[in-house]
Amino acid sequence: MERVKIHLEVSKDFLYAFDLNENKLSRELKLLSAIELYREHKISMGKAAEFAEMDKYMFQKELTSRDIPTIDYDIEDVRAESEILKNLSRNSKQIGRKITSLYG
């Protein structure tokens, strides 16, 4: 993947005030950008982790430490999944009864 370098100027006082150096600031800004893009549903967790130059597990830990949900279902998704599970449960019970009647 081709990379682009972005130039950002900050005062040395800023770095000193937050106990940062250029590398730490760069990593933190990548991480914060990735988190915000993920939180706004603009990129997936995998892409956000890649952007932050972390594996998915470490990125999930970062999200959790900042109280950002790693699983983000809206109510309609939950209802749809619930209906699917109910149908699967009904179907498995019907199959179980058929097997019992055949071999029971």
Could you tell me if 38 and 85 lie in one domain?
Answer: no
- Interacting residues of 25 by C-beta distance below 8 A, sequence separation 6+: 10, 15
Could you tell me if 66 and 82 lie in one domain?
Answer: no
pTM of the full predicted structure?
0.65
Q: What's the pLDDT score for residue 42?
A: 95
Compute CA distances 85 → 11, 31, 74, 90, 92, whole Å.
56, 36, 17, 9, 10
Burial (CB count within 10 angstroms: exposed 0-12, middle 13-18, buried 19+), residue 15: middle
Task: Find the domain containing 100 and state its range.
Answer: 73-104
pLDDT one-digit tens code per residue, 5-27: 888 898 999 888 989 899 999 99
Whether 104 shows a pLDDT value over 70: the answer reads: no
Could you tell me if 83 and 56 lie in one domain?
Answer: no
Mean pLDDT of 41-56: 95
Could you tell me if 78 and 53 lie in one domain?
Answer: no
Count of the separate structural domains present in the chain: 2
Mean pLDDT of the chain: 88
Residues 80, 89: Cα–Cα separation, whole Å: 14
Instruction: State the chain's maximal CA–CA distance in angstroms.
Output: 80
